[in-house]
Structure 1
């Protein structure tokens, strides 16, 4: 029988498996003639046989402490295709859930990967191995698959439970049925499987549907492997199909619906579903697919059931959907809208909304509740105060849970999560708006449009801002004194210059130009992710907004000089933070410390005259030829003298930039207070 095809691995993957840096692996390859030969790839990115590499590392006592599962993943990655890899992982989950071994098959890469995963899962735990493989698969294809972050899924499950617990006289079924009509790989259903028993002491029956058969296969095995303590619930039922066009779970009546539906899809079935019975609140316009999902979720609820959906912010305000929004308000179906801070979920650049809904029960007042809860967590946790990779979920989740729990006038929702009404300033970041006030020509449900800060709330923030302004001004005064005292009349004007190109040829520095990584991901970092700075980030606020794999990117290390190669954003600075990847038109220079001082290099390159000399001058978007940028030829001690001044100049510029940000925010807060008539009158 022929041997299976070799599983290829790169130098970066070998380094991760061996627990060393990539440079160490390159050094092994040069120094050891026994190092496995290349089996593919290119000279720049060679591929090696995983089996040969493992044998060589073991025989040379260089095998790192990487876990067995790390050695497992390259076998699946070698399958290459998204669907083939996903289905292979689903086979692993099915076999582990059934307690079976590999079911045989040809001796190829796929069957070998499945066999190795099943054997490892039987030793280390089925759920752990499947979770690891699923996470790595989602990391690899993150640009193709939308997922709900686990903390957000937990929050959505809790909000749905709050709506149920706030209902007096609710029937207490033995099993709580939870549906996700666009379940993906099952994040929301997995959250409900934990939250429902903890809150209600009853098991959850999980139902899901997705039009992607690979995702449904993965969701099915993932949920089947979840721990099932206490009373065993029914096994999850996950179906493949389009919930809007041809719902395979059409007869479902669920107690809870959790959904992160696809958005901005024009081809959602508008022509085919014009007379559908689900459109109780009106036929969704072609441009409002999200409102079709809202009504679908309501139609799948039994009376008294609750639903929580994650929706784009435009759904709350688009003109085409105002009639349906009005009907949802009048009938009491919509109970709350929560604006999340940017970064809570994909797309990470916008403030997504949570819509909390409930289907009315017989005997309730036809007009429904008279008020709608609006929560502006985006204002409570502004982007500048969140982590680079998204909000601090422990604080954000506690805030939303306490506000929503307190607003209902019942302790059930808040007390379950250890929160009380006093934990949140509901007057500053949340409000209960009479429905009649929302039923105008726009029916705009955006929380920020209806929430005004309460009297006295801005006082502490204004005090903090004024204190920061004073500290910044003190720092500016110190740097001003240092820079103003410089004697700029001395020094030789005819000192020779060297271009970056000449320094490259002399070996005084190296130059690497950023590029598009093959895998650029949103800010949800894993252990192998580093920040990615692109030109778009520089045009916005200058901070990285994405994450990528360092093995496939140009990385700036602390002490490197970063240069922006476009005229309108031309700049150069010393990178002082953790390792950071750079995108196209951003360059990384690494100086030989025996020849060049990096602060002197950055300060010299940044001079505006340099940009004029090295630019194409075609337009404001013209590129800068980094190799033509000039640096004066000075000895290292002379460079270090200038380096100290460049440090102070950079500090001065940072202080000025920060002062501008704080001053603008201070002006906005103070303007709001004055416009609200909160200026005390003198006696």
Structure 2
């Protein structure tokens, strides 16, 4: 039985501490008799003593470039309780900023208190905010199935929308409300997006650990700015801590589908100006709660599941929100924008009626925006193209109060008469026509492009079919690992960067993942240049080391960072030709031989990949053939996609009666 003083760590955690892949740790375990003995877990998922692992890594010189944050996190995880570990992280953050601060949560165990003191010292040495964000991110990753957070890009977009939609200049400062703040993603985004002189952040959270973490996060933002924060621990619907307070903007990602939200005890609450929300519509209670806290002309943005826009039980309240002009716009987001990632969530944009000179007659329409086309689906979880999504949504909302300006394609002003029917369905996709179809001129241009592709494809086919290819020959081979040892190339493994805590600014680099490769091969996000671990320059060889996406190619274009299971190879041009190397590596048989064959998600041990042993001058002929093969494959893929799209468009036109001959 493991002693309670022993902190267990897995192979994956050891790899993270040492800054290597898990396979490297498995190799250490096999090759070194001195490697720590398993103290728990199973043969498949063994666990080891953190103290013994740390000592072994130090003794073997494998901790030179690794910070101490990776070593301290497993001790937080070993506290066991989600609540205690979260409170300990929050307390450590307070002590990082104020070394003499007293513990505010006396229920913390002696082990947790000691860990708080050690983490606070570490934070003061390595950077308080960076250390806290590291510990917070690890905590969120550990308890991801129990929590629903707002991704930083979405939080920033929600705040930008609220700032753009509200009426009034706000010269006297800005008050922001988030009545279900979680760990403070939306409040932090408000502090980062608002560049005014005075800012007041009001937030509420009923979970003790989440409230403490939100307070710690916002504490770092108020250090050098005129920002007042108040975070209350309460149930906003049942026991509103900000009753009577009015905000300029409100942003919220409320809990979904909670039937026990206080229906019975809140039946006569004055907040229900648009009707008592049915027991099955807690989201409409949050919508009215936000409206009740807005100043005249103030705006609210709330993240909701798509069913709220169409459920029969809520149609009366939706109708009232539309008739009074409170519900100004609905935006359908791409799947993957936030949890649950498989659902196309919606943003409801609300605005309180203005008074005085800013007052306007009730609107006769609502703006509906379908932004689902900005999805970038991957194999596990899709992720949006945040830059394109944000630009499109903000451009659409810029037309909200200008009847003379047409919304962009994919958005539409829908008359209230069309919405206030028996269903009162405000789902954007039900009211917005598909993107404009190709006109005859566009079709002709695309047919010309397709014909040109076929000509190029035929040229490559003639060259490749004329090759004199022998079978059964045995040539001398070497492995990629041996080439690395010989100094013919360098190898760098991609890594997953930490989750950004703020919108990316400054110098950036595109970031490619395996999911991007399986979708369309285009990087799905950008990273700050200084956070990129492995960057491919023009002429480097990139290898995908997983069976389902196995490939190798020579990178062309500007620098690009790569994620886990992707590798960057930089050749010595006096020993290797990059196109020759990539062609040898991407041979399907090569991948099958180096793969584990356990499943389609199995990894390829790229050091085992084989390469022909040829002098540089003989590599050139092979390199040219490999270039031709790569171009042939690319042309096939492009022609396939364009041909299917053309067939679909022409079919639509003909089926609609467009055949004139």
* Post-superposition offset of 1:530: 11
Residue of structure 2 in register with 1:135 after alignment: 137
* Post-superposition offset of 1:52: 2.8
Q: How does 1:479-628 map to 2 (within 5 A)?
A: 599=588
8 Å contact kept, 2:9–2:49: yes
Whole-angstrom CA distance in 2 between matches of 1:310 and 1:6:
43
Whole-angstrom CA distance in 2 between matches of 1:559 and 1:394:
26
8 Å contact kept, 2:376–2:385: no
* Post-superposition offset of 1:26: 3.7
Q: Deviations over 1:462-507 (max 9, x none)?
A: 578646754775688789999999xxxxx9xxxxxxxxxxxxxxxx
Residue of structure 1 in register with 2:14 after alignment: 14
SS of residue paired to 1:235: strand
* Post-superposition offset of 1:290: 1.6
Q: How does 1:284-363 map to 2 (within 5 A)?
A: 284-362=277-355
Whole-angstrom CA distance in 2 between matches of 1:50 and 1:385:
35
Residue of structure 2 in register with 1:450 after alignment: 431
Structure 1 residue 405 and structure 2 residue 386: aligned? no
Residue of structure 2 in register with 1:554 after alignment: none
SS of residue paired to 2:100: coil
SS of residue paired to 1:351: coil
8 Å contact kept, 2:544–2:552: yes
SS of residue paired to 2:201: strand
Whole-angstrom CA distance in 2 between matches of 1:559 and 1:237:
46
Residue of structure 2 in register with 1:174 after alignment: 172
Whole-angstrom CA distance in 2 between matches of 1:159 and 1:23:
45
Residue of structure 2 in register with 1:187 after alignment: 185
Residue of structure 1 in register with 2:154 after alignment: 152
Structure 1 residue 124 and structure 2 residue 126: aligned? yes
Residue of structure 2 in register with 1:370 after alignment: 364
Whole-angstrom CA distance in 1 between matches of 2:203 and 2:392:
29
Whole-angstrom CA distance in 2 between matches of 1:467 and 1:80:
64
8 Å contact kept, 1:389–1:525: no
Distance 1:391 1:144, change over 3 A: same
RMSD in angstroms over aligned alpha carbons?
A: 5.5
8 Å contact kept, 1:78–1:109: no
Correspondent of 1:237 among 231, 237, 252: 231
Distance 1:343 1:81, change over 3 A: same
8 Å contact kept, 1:156–1:308: yes
8 Å contact kept, 1:216–1:240: no
Residue of structure 1 in register with 2:87 after alignment: 87
Residue of structure 2 in register with 1:390 after alignment: 383
Structure 1 residue 206 and structure 2 residue 208: aligned? no
Residue of structure 1 in register with 2:580 after alignment: none
Moved more, 283-292 or 3-12: 3-12
8 Å contact kept, 1:7–1:109: no
Whole-angstrom CA distance in 2 between matches of 1:396 and 1:22:
36
Residue of structure 2 in register with 1:497 after alignment: none
Whole-angstrom CA distance in 2 between matches of 1:382 and 1:352:
12
Q: How does 1:417-428 map to 2 (within 5 A)?
A: 426-428=407-409
* Post-superposition offset of 1:214: 1.4
Residue of structure 1 in register with 2:67 after alignment: 67
Structure 1 residue 439 and structure 2 residue 420: aligned? yes
Moved more, 95-104 or 398-407: 95-104
* Post-superposition offset of 1:146: 0.7
SS of residue paired to 1:207: strand
* Post-superposition offset of 1:92: 1.0
8 Å contact kept, 2:543–2:551: yes
Gaps of 5+ in 1: 412-420, 486-490, 492-520, 546-556, 564-572, 582-596, 605-622, 625-635, 637-647
8 Å contact kept, 1:341–1:352: yes
* Post-superposition offset of 1:273: 2.9
8 Å contact kept, 2:299–2:352: yes
Whole-angstrom CA distance in 2 between matches of 1:55 and 1:457:
66
Gaps of 5+ in 2: 472-495, 502-510, 525-541, 554-561, 566-585, 594-598, 601-611, 613-627
8 Å contact kept, 2:324–2:362: yes
8 Å contact kept, 2:411–2:432: yes
Give the alignment's TM-score, normalised by structure 1: 0.67
User: What is the count of residue pairs matched by the alignment?
Assistant: 569
